[in-house]
Structure 1
Amino acid sequence: MSRVSIVALLSSVFALPAFAMPADLDMDGDGLASLAELQTKYPEASKDLFTEIDEDADGFINDDEFVAAVDAELLPGTTSDQ
């Protein structure tokens, strides 16, 4: 495998977390955010908003649902000062 391929592969692997939910939202480290975890970072988040974001209705927000909520401007995007 060429050096360029290896660098491209490693870059894509390390770039993935930038599109996932922030670590301070997933407080228990299970890869999902509960309503309580969401309200810790976004105190204004209501149960109705949580239900709207939780597309698969499993009671948790996963990475895809979080990204979709940010894209739909249901939640503010993450920055280093949040």
Structure 2
Amino acid sequence: MKTALIALTTATFVGTAAFAAVADLDSDGDGVVSFTEMLASYPTLTEEGFSAIDTNGDGVVDEEEMTAATEGGLIPEA
């Protein structure tokens, strides 16, 4: 039971942190982050790096992709 509670708390925290990152980077308020919006905070990000983060290839990064990229170390240092 204790392990399940820790896992649930961790998952909630990680999801919340990713959402905050998307919200912080989302300058037009559409709920996702474009390559241009990410460049404002991550000027060393390349189009290839953005494509690796944008796993579904729709041209924007959503909360789920941001979480995966953060956990996978794909988000460059600001």
- CA offsets 1:53-81 (integer angstroms, 9 cap, x no match): 1111000000100110000011158xxxx
Corresponding letter in the other structure for 2:19: A
CA distance in 1, matches of 2:45, 2:76: 11
Greater radius of gyration (CA): 1
Provide the alpha-carbon RMSD of the alignment: 2.2
Gaps of 5+ in 1: 1-14
- CA offsets 1:6-57 (integer angstroms, 9 cap, x no match): xxxxxxxxx6533314222111111110000011111110000001111110
Instruction: Return the structure number with greater helix share.
Output: 2
Check conservation: 1:54, 1:65, Cα contact below 8 A.
yes
- State percent identity of aligned pairs: 36
Check conservation: 1:21, 1:66, Cα contact below 8 A.
no
CA distance in 1, matches of 2:53, 2:42: 13
Aligned residues: 65
Instruction: Return the structure number with greater strand share.
Output: 2
Gaps of 5+ in 2: 1-12
